[in-house]
Amino acid sequence: MNTKKMRAGGLAVLIAATGAFGLTACSSDDGAAGTDTEVSQEAAVDVATDLETAKAAVDEALAGDDWAQVMLASDVDSPTVKYGLMVMPFVKTDAAERVTGTVNIDGGNYTIEAVSAATGQTWQIDQDGNISEAAE
């Protein structure tokens, strides 16, 4: 009787392990495909980090107050008010030739543009975090 219990228990463990391994294998395939897609999109938008960092700075400024404009500047160490504008610290990376310096906010809506130093393409991010190529 103990032998039957041990065999049944061993078989249950084997089935559970096989199922877990199968699920792990399937999930890693899905994850790899998603990662490849994300990497491809990131490679196409080389200024995505600049856009996302600038958006985070603007969102931080808007969390404290409603501003009509937020300035992004590399010469400040912390958020400060200058000339009636909220000035947020922001330093672009070498990937960007230019990033919008003064962001206009209209009813909570805004866009920030960055020009790729490598390709010259202009990309934009909106208040929802959607990145797209800017229309000329």
User: pLDDT for 30-39, tens place per residue?
Assistant: 444 444 434 3
Query: Do residues 63 and 40 both lie within one domain?
Result: no
Residues 30 and 60 in one domain: no
Q: How many domains does the chain have?
A: 2
Calpha distance 112→124 (Å, rounded) = 5
Can you give the residue range of the structural domain that contains 37?
1-44
pLDDT class of 135 with cuts at 50, 70, 90 = confident
Q: Which of 72, 45, 77, 46 is nearest to 59 (CA)?
A: 72
Could you give the CA distance from residue 28 to residue 58 in angstroms, rounded to a whole number?
A: 36
Residue 136 banded pLDDT, cuts 50, 70, 90: low
d(CA 90, CA 57): 7
**51 pLDDT above the threshold of 90:** yes
**Which residues are 132's β-sheet partners?**
124
> Are residues 38 and 53 part of one domain?
no
